[in-house]
A and B are shown apart, each in its own frame.
Chain A
Amino acid sequence: MALEITEPRPMGKPIKRKEDARLVRGQGHYLDDIKLPGMLYLALTRSPYAHARIKRIDTTRAKALPGVHLVLTGEDLAKLNLSWMPTLAGDKQMVLATGKVLFQYQEVAAVVAESRALAEDGAQLVEVEYEPLPVVVDPFRALEPGAPVLREDREEASNRIFHWEVGDQAETDAALRNSAVVVKERIRMPRVHPAPLEPCGCIADYNAARAHLTWYVTSQAPHAHRTVLAMVAGLPEHKIHVISPDIGGGFGNKVPVFPGYVAAIVASLSLNRPVKWVEARTENLTSTNFARDYHMEVQLGADRQGRVTALRVTTLADHGAFDAAADPTKFPAGLFSIVTGSYDFPVAYAEVDGVYTNKAPGGVAYRCSFRVTEASFLIERAMNTLALKLQLDPAELRFRNFIPSERFPYRSPLGWTYDSGNYAATLQKALDMLDYPALRREQAERRARGELMGIGISTFTEIVGAGPSNTFDILGIKMFDSCEIRVHPTGKVIARLGTRHQGQGHETTFAQVIAEELGLTTDDVIVEEGDTDTAPYGLGTYASRSTPTAGGAAALAARRVRDKARKIAAHLLEVRDTEVEWDGERFTAAGAPDRAVGMSEVALAAYTNLPAGMEPGLEATYYYDPPNLTFPNGAYVAVVDIDKGTGAVKVRRFVAVDDCGTVINPMVVDGQIHGGLTEGFAIAFMQEIAFDEEGNCLAPNFMDYLVPTAVETPHWETGRTVTPSPHHPIGAKGVGESPNVGSPAAFANAVVDALGHLGVTNIDIPLFPWKVWEVLRQHGVTE
């Protein structure tokens, strides 16, 4: 049962969420709820072709439509040097197409009108003449000699964007040659989409008299967006006010800057009126970024006892028409080098080649700390194949390869220093929750009867919380985060952070952290995010970084407040600073615990009754640059039954034991796990942004891109082990993405496990019933 926000010592307790007071009343304030006087609406004309030369654009009819105020094309933007914009990945992307289009639904023209409907009407009236060009959909084909070079703006006459590698190739190859057993597998993680329920959008409100832009935007990183805007559009940064209102889910989708945003800003600058652009669902699924699309090939070597000797991974990454990946700038393949996972491998090597194709640009880190999902899926699937090859129980194989708990901090062969973990205990807990031996016996009995039951294990390790800033930056801006705390005279607190929540519950959890440090209740602390004029600079919320970075800043800013409060308390208690003790709720005089003052009394004194010479006020700001990343981990086990008549997979049970270090609010953590598992379930079984050979997007809406409903979503069973991060101020690691990172492999491993006795080692996700049925048919086990 949830506890009230007036609960003392709130850390670690299931406190009811403060944000829900407005959200359950329908009084959330989302982007599209904002209506400004004189506001106009923007709609985009989009390309029906995946690759075509633009012969002619005629805006005459659109401009003539009553109610239309402005029509913009790429050529109009080119005059302002804005027809292209930089991406976070260091590439550039067309805002409105000039010369040619490179993916279906690409933005070609923008129409601004009195109403949403009129803007849509106008967008339909923009006439564009196209000359279709050969389309490259297959990323392997993109690298073949003779393939059309898609990006004529680049000097390189190739569709290769980058080659990235890590680890020791020669040693890895030698180790593989000398291994008793080597398994190979091609593992594909298909293109999917974060698809938050609220689409992306913005309102650009330029005021010419003040030469000032207020930009309301669905942004997970408002400060970063302000700086990017200042750099790209040439507006002075102090005259840009970014407001990110309540966000209806983000999952990484709301990190990049999109063409619609730029078009709305240009329109507002031109018209000196507020301009709103909100994408429709189809626009969201087809153009504002995607995730994954990794084609991976793995080799895993081992000795006869199942001790892994070497890991080698080769990857082709399909980035679409522009490399709009939202990764830290020095990491073109994100943190894919976490691919050695939870295991102590002697040597490893991984390489990734990024390529252009005629698909929407991306990809974003969808509920994932930059390609960690791809890496975790790969290694967890590969371990399953190795277990099958060795005829070893997949749990036992993991126990034999886990990094032992006493080896932390652990230096991985690909260069990361893992902070903490107790992997064997975490897996054992999951196995105990299920009575794993009994399940294996049941599986054997069912198999003897011809039934298909599978048990899939995934024991993943994530890498989250970017910074530290010496390693991580976005376009040069270092990835720290921040918190500013002001204690009012009556002991009530406002805290502002550089992050921006989208449903994670920061208004409650960060209030708990601060309240705990200051001896207050959650009710006493208001947490505010998303307004660049008031919040301290920060890099935003994604990659499970809020608690590792801003959460650390919140604790340390509160401790700074407490340090000053201690001096004031000494003054009030008439003792020396060194004679004041903090009991978690109050300051007491050493040796006389009945002489005490609470934070409220101290706060009042900070404004009314200060020690001589002390600066008035009680507030602090902390910019926290973490010394290392954090490494949340978990053990997930899925139990499935496969219908031999239809190929449908029923998830009978799913146990998720997570270790995210110190838990701030267990109710919120479980909620994050439930949600992430549901997204992982969708990725494993029903979602793919697929294309036909002409580059037509085959999943442009929620009828073709399936989001699981309450009916097919399994019941989730959660558990926890707690291994605090030794370097984080409160020992917390971040949790929002673990379930999405760790679960797809558990589902896929369970399905393969059900068919392992037939020699099946891999089926590409999504595991649609028809696809599973086809495998059953090939092995003659359909009914």
Chain B
Amino acid sequence: MRIAVTINGKPMSADVEPRTLLAYLIRDEFNLTGTHVGCDTTSCGACTVLMDGTPVKSCTVLAVQADGTEVMTVEGLEHNGQLHPLQQGFWESHGLQCGFCTPGMLMTTYALLQRNPDPSETTIRRAISGNLCRCTGYQNIVTAVQYAAPLVREARTLTTEVGE
């Protein structure tokens, strides 16, 4: 089946089998290997991407379901050579060790800050509860999101002002 997807702002298309999962479309067809696969049961969240702005576990979405949608992966976070505040926060706060869960964590927390620019620790912990990490114990991930939140708010204010 022929499908068309916008990935990180770029229109892409591919021929896929009906059973192809979105995760493998992204990884194998579009060669965006930042999206990882860590389990077969939608448990670990390493494959989390945004589909039309909503975080989804791409190992449990069929590629054909993504037809006509806008998908954002970890590769879409950096903007004009500038790391996203979340990427800066994870780096600054030692929010990652092996790095395998990191792309999924970044996408989930990106969506969190979109809908809640000033989340509490409890809110952050709940938001990432679908993303497993075996290395960090989550504490520094929470710190990383807290580091990023004010920067994201500031950037949003600036954008709004420019827009006005």
Provide the residues of chain B in CB contact with A117, threshold 8 Å.
17, 19-20
Cβ–Cβ contact B97 & A671, under 8 A: yes
User: Which size bracket describes the interface of A in this complex?
Assistant: 35 or more
Kindly list chain A residues whose C-beta atoms are within 8 Å of the C-beta of B94: 2, 17, 667-668, 670-671
B146 contacts chain A at the CB level, 8 A cutoff: no
> Are B141 and A502 in contact, with the CB atoms below 8 A?
no
The answer to whether B46 and A197 have CB atoms under 8 Å apart is yes
B92 touches A16 (CB 8 A): yes
A707 touches B141 (CB 8 A): no
Q: Which residues of B contact A671 (CB under 8 A)?
A: 94, 97, 135-136, 140
A251 within 8 A of B: yes
CB-CB contacts below 8 Å: A1-48 with B: 1-2, 16-17, 19-21, 23-30, 32-33, 35
- Neighbour of B99 across the interface among A251, A503, A709, CB < 8 A: A503
A197 and B137 contacting across the interface, CB-CB below 8 Å: no
Q: How many whole Å from A255's CB to the nearest CB in chain B?
A: 16
Interface contact B100-A1, CB-CB below 8 Å: no
Asked whether B96 lies within 8 Å of A24 as measured between CB atoms, the reply is yes
B12 at interface by CB-CB < 8 Å: no
Query: Which chain A residues lie closer than 8 Å to B43 at the CB level?
Result: 701-703, 707
Contacts of B28 in A (CB 8 A): 35
Q: Contact at A505–B129, with CB atoms within 8 Å?
A: no
Is A249 part of the binding interface, using a Cβ–Cβ cutoff of 8 Å?
yes
B103 within 8 A of A: yes
Contact across chains for B138 and A281 when beta carbons are under 8 A apart: no
The answer to whether A180 has its CB under 8 Å from any CB of chain B is no
Across-interface contacts of B58 in A (CB, < 8 A): none
Query: Does B15 touch A at the CB level, under 8 Å?
Result: no
Mark B56-80 against chain A: 1 for CB-CB distance below 8 A, else 0: 0000000000000000011101100
Query: Contact at A25–B100, with CB atoms within 8 Å?
Result: no
Asked if A20 and B90 sit within 8 Å, CB to CB, the answer is: yes
**B34 within 8 Å of A (CB atoms):** yes
Count the B residues whose beta carbon is within 8 Å of the partner chain — how many? 59
Q: Does A698 contact B (CB under 8 A)?
A: no
Q: Given A198-B36, A281-B39, A677-B137, decide whether A503 and B97 contact each other with a Cβ distance below 8 A.
A: yes
Contacts of B132 on A, CB cut-off 8 Å?
A: 197, 702, 707, 709
A60 within 8 A of B: no
Query: Does A404 have its Cβ within 8 Å of any Cβ on chain B?
Result: no
**A196 & B98 in contact (Cβ 8 Å cutoff):** yes
Report chain B residues within 8 Å CB of A195: 134
Contact in complex: A198, B100 (CB < 8 Å): yes
CA distance A251 to B133 in the complex (A): 13
> Which of B17, B37, B98, B136 lies at the interface centre, i.e. has the most chain A CB atoms within 10 A of its CB?
B98
B: residues with CB less than 8 A from A are: 17, 19-20, 24, 27-28, 31-41, 43-44, 46, 73-75, 77-78, 83, 87, 90-94, 96-103, 106, 124-126, 128-142
- A sample of 15 more A-B contacts (CB under 8 A), given A24-B106, A26-B33, A703-B43, is A30-B33, A30-B100, A197-B44, A251-B134, A280-B40, A672-B97, A675-B135, A678-B136, A678-B137, A703-B41, A709-B128, A710-B128, A710-B138, A711-B125, A715-B139
A-B contact pairs, 8 of them (CB 8 A): A24-B99, A27-B34, A199-B38, A249-B98, A671-B94, A674-B140, A675-B134, A713-B139
